């Protein structure tokens, strides 16, 4: 136990989690007292962690699994009942939870600053955590963006919500990210649309294994023009290469599956004429 005694909302949340899991039997008072420390040690021992009573990264990750297995099934009954998709609107600073394709609930968010823009594209939730790191609020939902670490998370700066104020992540009020956390399983699709100040136009040829915001824009444009791209995820893989080949064949360009500067210029011209 630390001196002076730690206290606060995060301690109360810890006590609630431990109580729900059958490890803590005291009062939920937000104080890291002897009973709380003993409950943490019991939890750590049960989960093959060092039973020292210190709640570090590994213990929080294990608690996140406890939340998933015990608390989430109860919370999920209150949320969407169909397939969940997340739709982020960069222009309106909003995050929508879709239930079988229909808007279930909408939340205000903070998005990236012009100098540190949020990524547009289509990604997946690949990591979930409770109290993950400093400055990320109470919940973390990590995305598989190939060129950086981006996620949906809470905040210690609620005044930033509704503005372009982050380093690229999507900030939510803690109460909001806590609400959606049990609704969003690993693998949930996240579609991010809107203005991308990080994209200054195509300035390099793109080919297999390229990654970046420009690849996501290429994929988006090919998809909107009817060429075969499943996800605009910023990764130039086999599906993107095939779509580029289709575009090249349609426009009588050399069919090699590489988006060289001639192909990208033709794409820009065609997109401006045909895109809805």
State the SS3 of 55-114: CCHHHHHHHHHHHHHHHHHHHHCCCCCCCEEEEEECCCCEEEEEECCEEEEEEECEEEEC
| Domain termination residue (choose one: 160, 193, 226) | 193
Q: How far apart are CA 266 and CA 261, in angstroms?
A: 9
Does residue 38 share a domain with residue 18?
Answer: yes
Residues 225-233: what's their mean pLDDT?
A: 87
Report if residue 155 sits inside a domain: yes
Instruction: Give 135's contacts (C-beta < 8 A, 6+ positions apart).
Output: 155, 156
Q: What is the pLDDT of residue 192?
A: 96
Does residue 267 share a domain with residue 177?
Answer: no
Report if residue 172 sits inside a domain: yes
Active site (annotated) includes residue 76: no
Does residue 172 share a domain with residue 105?
Answer: yes
Does residue 175 share a domain with residue 91?
Answer: yes
Q: Which of 196, 233, 220, 203 is nearest to 113 (CA)?
A: 196
**For residue 157, what are its two tokens?**
């700066």
Residue 113: left if φ>0, alpha if ψ -120 to 50, beta else—which one? beta
Per residue, the 3-state secondary structure of 14-33, as one string, reads HHHHHHHCCCCCCCCCCECC
Does residue 165 share a domain with residue 125?
Answer: yes
| Domain termination residue (choose one: 193, 224, 250) | 193
Domain count for the chain: 3
Q: How far apart are CA 234 and CA 254, in angstroms?
A: 23
Does residue 59 share a domain with residue 89?
Answer: no
Q: How far apart are CA 251 and CA 259, in angstroms?
A: 13
- Tell me which of 76, 96, 127, 169 is the catalytic residue: 169
Does residue 72 share a domain with residue 56?
Answer: yes
Tally Cβ neighbours within 10 Å of residue 275: 10
In sequence order, the β-bridge partners of residue 192 are 88, 121
- Give residue-wise pLDDT tens across range 42-100: 999 999 999 999 888 788 778 777 766 666 555 555 789 899 999 999 999 999 999 99
Report if residue 101 sits inside a domain: yes
- Tell me which of 10, 127, 153, 251 is the catalytic residue: 153
Q: Which of 16-20, 113-117, 150-154, 193-197 has the lowest mean pLDDT?
A: 193-197
1 confidence band (pLDDT: 50, 70, 90): very low
Report if residue 235 sits inside a domain: yes
In what side-by-side order are the strands of the sheet with 102-108? 102-108, 94-99, 84-89, 189-193, 121-130, 139-143, 151-153, 170-171
Report if residue 1 sits inside a domain: no
Does residue 113 share a domain with residue 14?
Answer: no
Q: For the domain that residue 138 is a member of, what is the CATH number? A: 2.40.440.10
Q: For the domain that residue 230 is a member of, what is the CATH number? A: 1.10.101.10
Report if residue 36 sits inside a domain: yes
Tally Cβ neighbours within 10 Å of residue 51: 15
Does residue 167 share a domain with residue 132?
Answer: yes
> CA angle, 36 as apex, 34 and 40 as ends, to 5°?
115
Report if residue 203 sits inside a domain: no
In b/e form, how buried is each residue of 181-216, taking b as 16+ CB within 10 angstroms?
Answer: bbbbeeebebbbbeebebbeebeeebbeebbbbbbb
Give the alpha-carbon dihedral of 180, 190, 155, 49, to 10 degrees: 70
- Which residue's entry shows tokens 């444009």? 221
Does residue 223 share a domain with residue 133?
Answer: no
Phi, psi of 68 (to 5 degrees): -60, -40
Contact between 44 and 52 under an 8 Å Cβ cutoff? The reply is: yes
- Give residue-wise pLDDT tens across range 238-255: 999 999 999 999 999 999
Does residue 161 share a domain with residue 89?
Answer: yes
Angstrom CA distances, 188 to 97, 106, 147, stand at: 11, 17, 19
Does residue 90 share a domain with residue 167?
Answer: yes
- Give residue-wise pLDDT tens across range 90-145: 999 999 999 999 999 999 999 999 889 999 999 999 999 887 767 788 899 999 99
Q: What is the pLDDT of residue 184?
A: 94
Show the domain range for 99. Answer: 84-193
Instruction: Answer whether residue 197 shows pLDDT above 70.
Output: no
Q: What is the pLDDT of residue 2?
A: 47
Active site (annotated) includes residue 10: no
Report if residue 208 sits inside a domain: no
- Give residue-wise pLDDT tens across range 151-189: 999 998 888 999 999 999 999 998 899 999 989 999 999
| Domain termination residue (choose one: 54, 76, 98) | 76
């Amino acid at each position: 136990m630390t001196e002076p005694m730690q206290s606060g909302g995060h301690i109360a949340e810890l006590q609630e989690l431990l109580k729900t899991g059958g490890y803590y039997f005291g009062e939920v008072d937000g104080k890291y007292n002897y009973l709380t420390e003993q409950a943490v040690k019991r939890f750590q021992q049960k989960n093959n962690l060092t039973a020292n009573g210190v709640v570090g990264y590994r213990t929080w990750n294990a608690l996140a699994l406890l939340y998933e297995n015990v608390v989430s099934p109860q919370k999920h009954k209150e949320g969407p009942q169909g397939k969940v998709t997340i739709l982020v609107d960069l222009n309106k600073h909003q995050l929508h939870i879709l239930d079988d394709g229909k808007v279930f609930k909408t939340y205000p968010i903070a998005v990236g600053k012009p100098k540190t823009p949020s990524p547009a594209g289509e990604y997946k939730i690949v990591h979930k955590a409770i109290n993950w790191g400093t400055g990320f609020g109470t919940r973390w939902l990590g995305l598989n963006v190939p060129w950086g670490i981006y996620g949906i998370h809470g905040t210690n700066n609620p005044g930033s919500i509704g503005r372009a104020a982050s380093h690229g992540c999507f900030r939510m009020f803690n109460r909001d990210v806590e609400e959606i956390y049990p609704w969003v399983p690993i693998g949930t699709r996240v579609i991010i649309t809107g203005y991308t100040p990080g994209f200054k136009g195509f300035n390099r040829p793109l080919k297999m294994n390229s990654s970046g915001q420009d690849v996501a824009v290429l994929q988006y444009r090919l998809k909107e023009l009817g060429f075969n791209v499943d996800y605009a995820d910023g990764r130039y893989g086999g599906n993107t290469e095939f779509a580029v080949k289709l575009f090249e064949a349609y426009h009588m360009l050399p069919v090699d599956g590489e988006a060289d500067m001639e192909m990208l210029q033709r794409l820009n011209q065609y997109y401006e004429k045909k895109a809805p």
